Amino acid sequence: MNEHTASVEDNNEFNIQHSTQQFISPFLLKEGKIKPLIERLLNKDFTFFDIEDESLEDMFYGNEKISHEALETFFMPNIEPILFPSDMETIKGLRRFSKKLDKACRLSSPQLKMPFVIDSIDIFICPYHIGLLNIRVRFPEKDLTNNDVLTFADLFRTLIPYNGYDETIEIDYDGHSYNQVKKLIFEELLDSFSDYILNHTPKNSSYFGSLPFFKDERMFVVSYMNHRAGRPITETDLYRIAELNGYDSDGSEYVGALSPDYIHRFYQEKVYDRWADNTYYLISDAHFACITNEKGAVKQRLLCEMYGEYFYTVLLVFYYKLVLLKLSHEHSQIEMESDHTTIDRLTMMISEFSSKYYLPELSSNSSGKEILEIMKSVFEIDKLFHDVENTLSSLFQRQEQLEGKQLNSLLQILTIYTVISGIYGMNLMIDDLKGNIDWSKFISFSLFEWLAVFVTATGILLSLAMGFFFAKRWLQDKKNKKRKMF
């Protein structure tokens, strides 16, 4: 039985018979560190996730088994190579490396003492040097309440308490105790992993990936909650689940909104109630959840979908948001007058994302389509994509202006050299350069003849230098563009 410091009112509390959670956190990978990271993962008993390998169907999900066939057929054929790359060398896909743990743990806080099991962890290595960490958690106890589950999720998703409102916690894992989830990750789950992460903030940052363009500093939660039938689920219940409103600092039940109109608008925008009153799907900036009272085969299918089809849907939409924010951030860092290579690279990155990764439809399944639209709306994907498209248009226009100015300047210089070298070189020096050159004649050259020599020589050197510069820039741009994306 769970323990908390104060009793809660029973009117909003209900029993949870079975619950699982997944915690997703993004980070940036250092350039040149992806191959060493993959080698490190393989040496640490991570397995590359191959959807064709049926032996992996029951390896990472505790006591559950997902169907790779159902997972594969849920998505459109053009998205499958991105979500399920065929091998670990396919750099344009979301390469997943998973490790089974099955470790019994315990989280303690002033409000909650709760055992849990970490079934497995995933590392996704994605294009644009973005990485994603996923931690799978399940609760062995059956006598849980919604407040227990929500409080646990809110506490565990906080990597480091960074203000006075975050509670002190202690996590017991394999004989060790940690007061921060970040320490649990880096000292147990992913030791030495920080060597591969690009860090933009001070050492004690609360966000281990330290993305300068991502506003949240906590992990995103994917939950499955099976509750006991009999008690109707209200709009307030669904709001609290979406916002992870469990116990407050006094151990009392917490609701983050009081206005019924506000909660109703929230329900309309972020809750998918096709199978109400039995099953609801809901999504917020912090949480994607399935709350159901189904039993038997239907219960099992819903749980497996949260590990499979819907997990990958939210993962891809979450990745879309990260890429779009990253592209917008890089645009804001450009010095338009001087960063020509960066402009070219960013233009290519946006074009590549628009054509190959950002797909309007992910699934032919009707409910999958409808849930996807809610996810995209909550994450503001269409707005971010529209902003990036405008960025691409402005980059093209600005690049044309810069290249036009450069071309005009280059043509002026070449015209001057061509006219001067043509006049002087052909009329004053051409006879002296025939056959065996008599170098003694150069001593008696006039000022105009020496000017012709200078213009001709510098013109040749300028042409060679320009050819070398453009060849070097082309090779460097080609190399930088590939490195920046993959």
Question: Do the Cβ atoms of 289 and 222 come closer than 8 Å?
Answer: yes
Dihedral, CA of residue 62, residue 67, residue 70 and residue 76, to nearest 10: 70
Is residue 377 scored above 60 in pLDDT? yes
Q: Are strands 220-227 and 271-275 parallel, antiparallel or unpaired?
A: unpaired
Overall average pLDDT of the 178-199 stretch: 87
Is residue 393 scored above 80 in pLDDT? no
Cα–Cα distance measured from residue 413 to residue 66, given in angstroms and rounded to the nearest whole number: 67
Per-residue tokens: 51 = 């959807």
Cα–Cα distance measured from residue 299 to residue 3, given in angstroms and rounded to the nearest whole number: 28
Cα–Cα distance measured from residue 377 to residue 154, given in angstroms and rounded to the nearest whole number: 23
Look at residues 186, 182, 193, 209 and name the one whose alpha carbon lies nearest to residue 38: 193
Q: Are strands 220-227 and 287-292 parallel, antiparallel or unpaired?
A: parallel
Predicted confidence (pLDDT) per residue in 10-62, tens digit: 457 899 999 999 999 998 888 888 999 999 999 999 999 999 999 999 999 99
Question: Do the Cβ atoms of 266 and 257 come closer than 8 Å?
Answer: yes
Per-residue tokens: 219 = 């992990």
Query: How sure is the predictor about 398, in pLDDT bands with cuts at 50, 70 and 90?
Result: low
C-alpha separations of 178 from 188, 189, 207 in Å: 10, 12, 17
Query: If you average pLDDT over every residue of the chain, what do you get?
Result: 83
pLDDT at 93: 93
